[in-house]
Amino acid sequence: MQATRIIAIRHGETAWNVDTRLQGHLDIALNAKGLWQAEQVARVLAGEPIEAVYTSDLLRAWHTARAIAQSTEAPLVARQDLRERCFGSFEGKTHAELEAQWPEASLRWRKREPDWAPPGGESLLALRQRINRTVAALAQQHLGGQIVLVAHGGVMDVLYRLATGQDLQAPRTWQLGNAAINRLLWTADGLTLVGWGDTGHLEEATLDERSA
């Protein structure tokens, strides 16, 4: 059975990541650390055979993906269907603000109710369906090859759950680190997990800088 190798990358850090502020579809750029992280993941992937880099069209993902595309010389394609989950009226709020302003809705969000959506937003079921459909469509175009997907924390979470059979409400025991390298395999049967949460390129770069 033919397969497509996928390298899935969450965008670099933003100021709103640090503030635990929900970004959703709001177009927040990378902060200085995020730009550095993008450079590091691009550096370590430079020698990989990559047929295409597909990215969410939001700036934080686009700038991360652009660095990877430049280092690998792979074509860069923006996809709106790789965006983060839409959080509707929750967007722009911190976790603490959500609990204070909408305690009942915040509880339903934290309990990960699959069919519940914030006002004007997207449910987890809808997000999973969108990402599953998008990844399958992209992977089918590159059977036997390798592609990069650059997206968001919610997208990475869905990919992990699809690859491991984890329920949408299962407690998360895996990391969704900014600029971490996650590897999956896609076949007609779906996704399987190859490796997850590799941040060695970020740690090594930090050590190199300290010793310089």
Residues annotated as part of the active site: 11, 84
Question: Which residues have CB under 8 Å from 179's CB, separation 6+?
Answer: 9, 10, 11, 12, 13, 34, 37, 38, 40, 41, 64, 199, 202
Q: Helical H runs in the chain?
A: 15-18, 32-45, 59-72, 95-101, 103-110, 124-140, 153-164, 200-211
Contact 55, 83 (CB under 8 A): no
**Token pair listed for 176:** 């969704």
Q: Residue 212 and residue 209: Cα distance in Å, rounded?
A: 5
Question: Which residues have CB under 8 Å from 131's CB, separation 6+?
Answer: 81, 82, 155, 158, 159, 162
Contact 178, 12 (CB under 8 A): yes
Contact 126, 117 (CB under 8 A): yes
**Token pair listed for 31:** 């902060």
Contact 33, 12 (CB under 8 A): yes
Which amino acid is located at 45 in the chain? L
